[in-house]
Structure 1
């Protein structure tokens, strides 16, 4: 069975030496001393390794089942969920007012990666609840907050988001679910939603669905969509769980992966619902949840890559195959271990350099959220809004690719289910699709985010890179990192300029290059955090760090990314500048 160990040492390096969280003036960051965060991450790691990891295979093999209208989760999930709740993990970064611990998002994100790496399907139950609670926190009335948030933050009740219908996914303006207003101010919600993760299960006393629906007589299309709180069980006057609402599970989807999570078809038959936020402004409220979820999905791409990589390294060191071409390394055995071979090293270095760079990128993104929410930093808000589609699209695309590389290390054994490597690949695959397929993320990035705020966030990003390169450029020890970063940043600027000049004349030129732009942007972000990581590692060595091997390994991995991965920006720029002519050359009937 595959194993998983929380990467707490690398997390500590990013938190305290790269991001320097405990030195920040962001409210709450003064609590993030290394001893404190280390203790939190260690305890999360124990729960992940001892409880969640063994259930990962169980969830994959058993899946969820629907019997007589009741959804049952895999063996052991319910007990593990009780441990999660008892430990207070579900409210780690939620407000104390409603029972949370009010920790910053940057720590919650690190803990989330640990749990997701151990068992993605399980972790989705509390992850989706967190997102639904965030939407109620941001858009709910005081009464709604008091009614739902304490029990959702504790996960006594869980939550979902209901967007997709059989005939509409991305184009939500086509939805047919209706919400008829009632005299008491409530609504009767009717319709069908599909692909609802954690739609129903046996681990909580109630499920609080956030459902997009149209109020009759409202504007056409997306402008007529509103968001509703629709509980599985209606509440009594004292707030306790009452009679069953008009909500039922039509089916549990049979999926490629995340079998341990109950992905449901949800039927609403005049179910009682309550408007969340403003009428006909449902997408504004839903995007609070969706943007959080997109960062959570980015985390899943990283987490599955980390889990797969850990097992691939173990296998590469143990499996004997062939001899090192430069000389025998295992003279007492019939062959040398796989890890001596350059192509295996290439694969492992691709994985390692992505994973550690992605972790720094993701935690930097979480830090920007804290700067925005806790310190009211508008520049941070603009930057994280710009980078959200990059985080989601790039980290899940690359994360999936890395699980494939890890599986490939095993050769034929990676294709055999009992070795567990295929589960990482299957579970990672959904991250490229849900919460907005990655093609849509790329369109959002180029079509909306680049021009947001008059282009101020992207220009601020370029200036940040430029200032860092200028500051570090005179240090010869940083040349291996600064020069490649300068080149990659110029490629990103050139691609943005192409969109401005050519895309205005022919919008297809911009749209045809959007996916490459998302990846180009992602590589530059990883190049930037790798350069910052290299700076931190050099500083540690100059200051006499005791763990010399850790920092030298960090520098070697940074050099690999700069030399072998970052040059992909030139390829993406060439594709972008080729325009849309070859993409759009065929008529529809020619396909």
Structure 2
């Protein structure tokens, strides 16, 4: 049977148009082709592709997975995956948000994000293939030479080739300063790349004839640590500077990783044995280009958590309406049936409403981050660009960590609604739970996002992004100061903003005396920030719904969900604040050898 998926187009449009004002934003930024009619067509056609092409392949992708030919190093994707990619390219989806000068359609990132969410919900494993191409595109656009963009970028944008990010080594994950892959300069201006990379998503497959690997490596005279990392283009098939494709490069898939989930995604060990490559950017400056890929990917992975949450919620909601078990505590609600549907039971409603609140609030949070990408890239107002860039840096670790951790929570809630039927494979819920787990790990674990938020965005950058966010909250509360219908949200939100600011100062002051306070507080501070941010977007959503011409039932559902969020989810901030207040002592006091054998 498996799980099913329907794109939540009504709520996507609400987030885009009613809450975020996408039409006005696109016009201000000069996206003259991104009219409402065009964006609506993207949504409608994207829904058809995902519901009819990708979603039906989700189960077989999990069950069959990718297969590896040890003799040749070739990888075959699950049945139907390759054909779906051909339809994806034929539909023009591969270059939707890429620059026009490189063959793309030049749509805003915000206009493309709903399609990304649909892909992740319909078939997360398949979606990893174009995701990595998008990361490679961003790196080449911002850091590649003109000839590199011409030769490598255009085939990626039009879908003829795909891209990867080759960062991780077996001894070197988060700490990239430890990497050992070598790059030797050659007389013809190329480099000979030697080393082994692991966990390489889409590292080998049968979608395209060529794969463009972006590889971190060290030059012979490179300084130690992260200051000695360079980035290289290493294609599967050798490509000359004038674009002529030559013989097979010395790049080979050495194995496929055996994983908990996303079985349809090719996660490869890639061996480089003197492979021909080209330097991107300046020597020893590869970390800058890497972060261009990584930051783009972190927002994208956050959307993976959102997409999985929504698919799981849809199926749990359908099941809760159909499954008959026991009677309501306050008396029968379906007296003509032998039992009531389980949606009448408070605990089932608690799980469903938690999912609904995190999904719909998280959708606006994630979409807003995409709008900041568009502003930083296309606004002609320098002050607006600077402010958006600071806010984007602040919300990126929140989007990545919170949406993925909430994805784990929501898929487990949804599976729980099915009871024992959720644990068996028939309904497809356990696959969603397994697939969700990786999203908290790749592109920087939740702990790394927390350290980035507190260590870099709060301490090093003195909380400039937080100040922008607090300013947004203040402006919203002032705007609705005389709106009695909004008082139940603006009052707690104003108080929350004050507490958020005080908590930030508390963490900063403690860190001055003990650097371990940063690491001890970071996880709880990140989730405090995530729940606070969602409170703001839920208040904004209620105000936007009230001001819209949407049906009364839609408006009431927004208000009811926001009330649930403020009453039953937002109080989690109290626990996080209490744990931060306990300081680093309880975390760091125990000696390492006292943990046990």
TM-score of the superposition, structure 2-length normalised?
0.97
Residues 388-410 of structure 1 show CA distances to partners (whole Å, capped at 9, x for unaligned) of 11111111111111110000000
Point out the more displaced range, 245-254 or 235-244. Answer: 235-244
- Per the alignment, residue 19 of structure 2 pairs with 18
* Residues 28, 103 of structure 1: 8 Å contact kept: no
Question: Is the aligned partner of 1:191 residue 2:192?
Answer: no
Contact 2:136 2:214 in 1 (8 A): yes
CA distance in 2 between counterparts of 1:29 and 1:530 reads 28
SS in structure 2 of the partner of residue 229 of structure 1: strand
- Once the 2 structures are TM-superposed, how far is the Cα of residue 484 of structure 1 from its aligned partner? 2.1
Q: Is the 8 A contact 2:168 2:198 kept in 1?
A: yes
CA distance in 1 between counterparts of 2:462 and 2:515 reads 18
The verdict on how the C-alpha distance between 1:310 and 1:432 changes in structure 2, with shifts beyond 3 A counting, is same
Per the alignment, in what secondary structure is the counterpart of residue 232 of structure 2? Answer: strand
| C-alpha separation in 1, matches of 2:467 and 2:296 | 24
Report the Cα offset of residue 97 of structure 1. 0.8
Alignment-derived partner of residue 305 in structure 1: 309
C-alpha distance in structure 1 between counterparts of 2:241 and 2:387, whole Å: 44
Q: Specify the alignment match of 1:389 in structure 2.
A: 397
In structure 2, stretches of 5+ residues that fail to align are none
What is the CA-CA distance between 1:384 and the residue it aligns to? 0.2
* 1:474 corresponding residue in structure 2: 482
CA displacement at 1:31 relative to structure 2: 4.2
Residue in structure 1 matched with residue 411 of structure 2 by the alignment? 403
> Secondary structure of the residue that 2:310 maps to in structure 1?
helix
- Structure 1, 290-299 or 506-515: larger mean CA deviation: 506-515
Corresponding position of 1:523: 531
Distance in 2 of aligned mates of 1:302 and 1:278: 37
Partner of 2:589 in structure 1? 585
| Match of residue 52 from structure 2 | 50
8 Å contact from structure 1 (residues 28, 104) kept in 2: no
Give a deviation string over 1:16-57, Cα, whole Å, max 9, x none: 111111122532455444333222101100000101001000
- 252-261 or 503-512, which deviates more: 503-512
Shift of 1:418: 1.7
Instruction: Determine if contact 1:369/1:384 at 8 Å carries over to the other structure.
Output: yes
How many residues end up aligned between the 2 structures?
Answer: 587
Aligned to 1:159: 163
Q: Which residue of 2 aligns with 1:212?
A: 216
Work out the CA distance in 1 between the residues paired with 2:28 and 2:131.
Answer: 24
Q: Counterparts of 1:160-179 in structure 2 under 5 Å?
A: 160-179=164-183
TM-score with structure 1 length normalisation?
A: 0.98
Asked if 1 retains the 8 angstrom alpha-carbon contact of 2:459 and 2:508, the reply is no
- Does residue 534 in structure 1 map to residue 542 in structure 2? yes
Are the counterparts in 2 of residues 26 and 371 from structure 1 also a CA contact under 8 Å? no
1:128 is matched with: 132
Q: Give the superposition deviation at 1:491.
A: 2.6
DSSP 3-state at the match of 1:211: strand
Please give the root-mean-square deviation of Cα atoms over the aligned residues, in Å: 1.2
Match of 1:80 among 78, 84, 88: 84
User: What is aligned with 2:10?
Assistant: 9
Comparing 49-58 with 443-452, which one deviates more in the overlay?
443-452
User: Retained in 1: the 8 A contact 2:129–2:162?
Assistant: yes
Contact 2:214/2:231, CA 8 A, preserved across alignment:
yes
Which ranges in structure 1 are unaligned for 5 or more consecutive residues?
Answer: none
| Deviation (angstroms), 1:456 | 2.4
- Counterparts of 1:268-417 in structure 2, within 5 Å, are 268-375=272-379, 377-417=385-425
* Local SS of the residue matching 1:204: coil
Query: Among 434, 450, 461, which residue is 2:458 paired with?
Result: 450
The answer to whether residue 58 in structure 2 is matched with residue 35 in structure 1 is no
Aligned counterparts, 1:58-97, within 5 A:
58-67=60-69, 68=71, 69-97=73-101
Alpha-carbon distance, 1:567 to partner = 1.6
8 A Cα contact 1:168 1:174, kept in partner: yes
CA offset at residue 453 of structure 1? Answer: 4.2
Q: Specify which of 239, 243, 249 is matched with residue 239 of structure 1.
A: 243
Following superposition, the deviation at residue 466 of structure 1 comes to 1.6
Measure, in 2, the Cα distance between the counterparts of 1:30 and 1:531. Answer: 30
How far is the alpha carbon of 1:487 from its aligned partner?
2.7
Counterpart CA distance in 2 for 1:335 and 1:289 is: 53
